[in-house]
A and B are shown apart, each in its own frame.
Chain A
Amino acid sequence: MRTITIKLPDHRGVPVEAERISPDVLAGLSIKEISEIEVWQGNRRLHLSDIFLISGDPDPDKPENTRIVLEGDLSKVKRIGESMSAGVVEIIGDAGMHAGNSMRGGTLEIKGDAGDWLGREMRGGRIVVEGNAGNYAGAGYRGERCGMRGGEIIIKGNAGAFLGEHLCGGTIEVMGDAGDFPGCANQGGIIRIHGHAHLPGAEMVKGSITAGSARVLPSFACEGIVELGGLTYKKYVGDLVENGKGELYVASGQIGK
């Protein structure tokens, strides 16, 4: 597998639009060509090498055989891995907004925290975040009626507000807590939140949301206790405001306790 390493020594000021840092774009290029790729910082057009230190295997390869490793504080580097379809992008540090948006395949690993709009409108592939994610993870952009349609997002920390807004497919798993309105306007995706969820599933019509604990909206109807994977859950159906058939499961304790 070809590895390309991109280090960010120090970055202050205006965020960088780095949508071209993706295996689909970089795989077929030599290190020199990669250095000369254009990126925008605000209204300034720069070469990738003006901001980053680039090294790695010199020979071009296919995207699926390419691993891009990013190091440093990339919290002001936006759109890493946008529209990627194969290969691996590993971020050792924090990632900026819109990481992995419109992603179709491959893997995006973020060892630190992810910014807002993580995996927005993604269609396939896998995103793993070791830390926390910002608002609108897996959501649709402003006004869109469909957010994430496929693939998987795993957030090992907490997620911000509007997790999986307008989710149309795929799976989101959050090990920690979710902010306000996770899974709102869910159209058929799956969200599993191990910690607390605040007002999940508003305007949801299809799909399912599972939460360790939750403040449930009054527009959900409780249908009793069900058992899932050795745990008992309260099952709700809603959002009734939308005549929704979405399912909301809130853990009520372990069997046998």
Chain B
Amino acid sequence: MIIKGGIVYDPANGIFGEEMDICIENGRIAEDAGGEVIDARGLLVMPGGVDAHSHIAGPKLNTGRIMRPDDSRMGTEPRTRVCRPSTGYTVPNCYAIGYRYARLGYTTAFEAATPIIEARHTHEELEEIPIVDKGALTLFGSNWTVMECVRENDLGRLAAYVAWGLRAARGYGVKIVNPGGGEAWGFGSNVKSVHDPVPHFDVTPAQIIRALAEVNERLRLPHSIHLHFNNLGRPGNYTTAIETLELLKDIKPSRMRQVVHVAHMQFSAYGGTGWKDFESKASVIADYFNQTDHATMDLGQIIFGPATTMTADAPLEYANARIGHQKWSNHDIELEESSGVVPWVYMRKMPVNAVQWAIGLELALLTRDPWKVVMTTDHPNGGPFVNYPEIISLLMSREKREEEMKTLHEVVRSRSTLPSIEREMDWSEIVIMTRAAPARILGLEDKGHLGTGADADISIYSIKPDEIDPSKDHAKVKAGMSRAKYTIKGGVVVVRDGEVVAAPQGRTYWVDAAVPESEMDRMLSALKEKFERYYSIRMSNYMVQDAYLSNPFVVRAGVQPLKEVI
């Protein structure tokens, strides 16, 4: 297959809007190729989108679906020759997730939080998401074994547990959510700062985060730790954010990437002492990211209208349910976590929501290096991912931001710096934020770029970058990005003219990390006792078996130096 005459953006390879042909052979980008010719003359061509933080599979999704029959009605689409029926808007059914990502030109999406014990269900749902490649991050931040290893300062055993946990969950990376808080919630409380001890465990969130970061580097995992801060969603929490990032400054990365990826930064960039004097501290956070190089973030931009909040931060969800006077699901996940689900509506005239909306955009626009910022809505916490084109048009057009601000509560002008920001992103920066950076941050070497040998995941849009001015024609940008002209996944055309024309099964990425056998044995003997005494299921029924992943892609890592395969 050859894609002819497109205006190609491939920032990872230093290509910024050049007219060139792209060749595809055996599902990969090649030097030359024959076969089908796709005419992309003058059209915007870029690598397929990569979503590094999205909630797309697992029990919390099903809880959301069950709680929200009203949501199901908001996104019904009938069956077509290729597609199964779609339902839902904030919590779509599995099929809809795959089709909608593909229509946006996205070809990879990572589920951001799965407890090991729930991983089977997560993979059952991932299997049913068509087209996109996917993976799931595994939760470790409030895990009993993790906290015990941290308390005993036994990083060897912790490394063995993390490696075993990733294998048990067929997980891709280390996710940490409100470390310690999830287990504190099991006793009806929360942790209030990174130095506040977790009740009954005698460790602090700071110790948990540092230990997991060190182990993450010891295991040379492709992705860094993926961190949801303590005190998330609370006024004044920007100090917690900076305090936490400072903890990790001296840790050396084992690969060419960050040491910590901050999830949905928007929810942790809040000033004020309460909801009444709530204000944006995005500029302080962006300054910090501008001055340091060890951290990356994703936005967690909010979208006005309905959302469904779902997180392993159970105390946060309790607060949400009380504030919003909403339905509330609360879940205790044995020795690993707790979690909650609460439906939500972001309103334009609500002062707090207006400022939250501004914070996401401020973070993107004030952080100078787009390689440090990934565009997300923390789907579906800030809003559904189908709204990414709306965010793109906001980032590319000051005029559009001004128009939007006129419809919001006036505090958006006094409590954020957004009105004074002139920056308008160009296509290269958008491609970095939605493709190149998330792939690099996740450690996906064959994604997010169009170099020879890369996965042939490509999106082509009905947008002519030489003819339109995104700062003025923002409506055309939004419309064009919402329905890809072509989405090509692994060399197969899956979307043509905005319609799904093929729905192949994507791959599931997981990381197999090696640790010395002696460490693994030591860890397992202690873990077996946990299963005997506390778990509701046996260890033999706990691991995700290979049968759960019909199309796995295993990434090797580990403490032992890897030998080159000849």
A residues engaging B (CB < 8 A)?
Answer: 141-145
Closest residue on chain B to residue A242 by CB atoms: B325
Which residues of B are found within 8 Å of A142, using beta-carbon distances?
69-70
Which residues of A are found within 8 Å of B67, using beta-carbon distances?
143
Write out, one digit per residue, whether chain B residues 56-76 have a CB within 8 A of any chain A CB (1) or not (0). Answer: 000000000001111111000
Which residues of A are found within 8 Å of B68, using beta-carbon distances?
143
Which residues of B are found within 8 Å of A144, using beta-carbon distances?
70
> With the chains together, A143 CA to B72 CA distance in Å?
10
Q: How would you classify the secondary structure of chain A's contact residues: helix, strand, loop or mixed?
A: loop
Which residues of B are found within 8 Å of A143, using beta-carbon distances?
67-72
> With the chains together, A142 CA to B68 CA distance in Å?
8
Ranked 9 nearest A-B pairs via Cβ: A143-B70, A143-B69, A142-B69, A144-B70, A143-B68, A141-B73, A142-B70, A141-B70, A145-B70
Q: Tell me the smallest distance from the CB of A45 to a CB of chain B, in Å.
A: 13
Which residues of A are found within 8 Å of B69, using beta-carbon distances?
141-143
A-B contact count (CB 8 A): 13
Which residues of B are found within 8 Å of A145, using beta-carbon distances?
70
Which residues of A are found within 8 Å of B71, using beta-carbon distances?
143
Q: A141-B70, A144-B70, A145-B70 are in contact. List 10 more A-B contacts (CB 8 A).
A: A141-B69, A141-B73, A142-B69, A142-B70, A143-B67, A143-B68, A143-B69, A143-B70, A143-B71, A143-B72
Closest residue on chain B to residue A144 by CB atoms: B70
> With the chains together, A160 CA to B209 CA distance in Å?
57
> With the chains together, A144 CA to B69 CA distance in Å?
8
> With the chains together, A144 CA to B70 CA distance in Å?
5
Closest residue on chain A to residue B72 by CB atoms: A143
> With the chains together, A143 CA to B68 CA distance in Å?
6
Q: Tell me the smallest distance from the CB of A32 to a CB of chain B, in Å.
A: 27
> With the chains together, A145 CA to B74 CA distance in Å?
13
Write out, one digit per residue, whether chain B residues 194-207 have a CB within 8 A of any chain A CB (1) or not (0). Answer: 00000000000000
Closest residue on chain B to residue A146 by CB atoms: B70
Which residues of A are found within 8 Å of B72, using beta-carbon distances?
143
> With the chains together, A212 CA to B73 CA distance in Å?
37
> With the chains together, A145 CA to B70 CA distance in Å?
8
Which residues of A are found within 8 Å of B73, using beta-carbon distances?
141
Query: 12 pairs across A/B with beta carbons < 8 Å?
Result: A141-B69, A141-B70, A141-B73, A142-B69, A142-B70, A143-B67, A143-B69, A143-B70, A143-B71, A143-B72, A144-B70, A145-B70
**Interface-centre pick from B69, B70, B71, B73 (highest chain A CB count, 10 A):** B70
**Interface-centre pick from A141, A143, A144, A145 (highest chain B CB count, 10 A):** A143
Closest residue on chain A to residue B71 by CB atoms: A143
> With the chains together, A257 CA to B27 CA distance in Å?
89
Q: Tell me the smallest distance from the CB of A242 to a CB of chain B, in Å.
A: 9
Q: Tell me the smallest distance from the CB of A44 to a CB of chain B, in Å.
A: 16
List CB contacts (< 8 Å) of B41-100 with chain A: 67-73
> With the chains together, A142 CA to B69 CA distance in Å?
6
Which residues of A are found within 8 Å of B70, using beta-carbon distances?
141-145
Q: Tell me the smallest distance from the CB of A102 to a CB of chain B, in Å.
A: 11
Q: Tell me the smallest distance from the CB of A136 to a CB of chain B, in Å.
A: 14
Closest residue on chain A to residue B70 by CB atoms: A143
> With the chains together, A141 CA to B71 CA distance in Å?
11
Closest residue on chain B to residue A142 by CB atoms: B69
Closest residue on chain B to residue A243 by CB atoms: B325
> With the chains together, A141 CA to B70 CA distance in Å?
7
Closest residue on chain B to residue A140 by CB atoms: B70
> With the chains together, A50 CA to B405 CA distance in Å?
55
> With the chains together, A144 CA to B327 CA distance in Å?
12
Q: Tell me the smallest distance from the CB of B65 to a CB of chain A, in Å.
A: 11
> With the chains together, A143 CA to B73 CA distance in Å?
10
> With the chains together, A143 CA to B91 CA distance in Å?
14
Closest residue on chain A to residue B66 by CB atoms: A143
> With the chains together, A144 CA to B68 CA distance in Å?
8
Closest residue on chain B to residue A205 by CB atoms: B325
Q: Tell me the smallest distance from the CB of A148 to a CB of chain B, in Å.
A: 15
Which residues of B are found within 8 Å of A141, using beta-carbon distances?
69-70, 73
> With the chains together, A142 CA to B87 CA distance in Å?
15
> With the chains together, A158 CA to B67 CA distance in Å?
31
Q: Tell me the smallest distance from the CB of B216 to a CB of chain A, in Å.
A: 41
